[in-house]
Amino acid sequence: MRVGLYPGSFDPITNGHIDIIERSLSIVDKLIVAIGVSATKTPLFSFEDRAAMIDSEIGALAKQKGVELSVVDFNGLLVDEAKKHGAGLIIRGLRNAEDFEYEAQMTAMNRAMAPEVETVFLTASPDVSFISSTLVRQILAMGGDISPFVPKVVLENI
């Protein structure tokens, strides 16, 4: 069984996240969406709300494709979380060259700590490559319309 772990804050989950998750379903038998939880940051949505939104958006498609989907929280090392769940793949989305520079460094560090865990990069589809949770939160805080950037379930929970 090929197990993949896709980490992120998912605060909120965006159409960019959905793009990567949907495409991940074709390369794994089990997908673990790992929501990073920080004790020092106040999220827009609770872990439970983020997990419910992810399941609402992806659960049926995962089931249709025969992929087991689970959503977990974590606050430690990513490679430790991958090993804890038996994930041999860490899935990362790349939007641009800056993402690649950061992710390449993280991948090298993760490989040094856990050589048995491979990182797979999926480049964002062009129509969502500019979306980030940070920008979505900023737009929302300034009263802007985030509907083009997030799934409907996020709008229903604001």
Which alpha helices (DSSP H) does the chain contain, by range?
Answer: 15-24, 47-64, 78-84, 97-113, 133-141, 152-157
The question of whether 95 is a catalytic residue gets the answer: yes
Residue 90 CA, chain-centre distance (Å), reads: 10
pLDDT digits (tens, 9 = 90+) for 21-50: 999 999 999 999 999 987 677 899 999 999
Q: Which of 95, 111, 125, 132 is catalytic?
A: 95
Identify whether 24 is a catalytic site residue.
no
How far is it, in rounded angstroms, from Cα 19 to Cα 131? Answer: 11
Could you tell me which residue, 39 or 54, shows the higher pLDDT? 54
Residue 41: its pLDDT value, please?
Answer: 76
| 2 has pLDDT over 80 | yes
Domain limits, the chain: 3-150
Does the model's pTM come out above 0.75? Answer: yes
Give backbone dihedrals phi and psi of 6, rounded to 5 degrees, phi first.
Answer: -115, 105
Domain 3-150 top-level CATH class: alpha beta
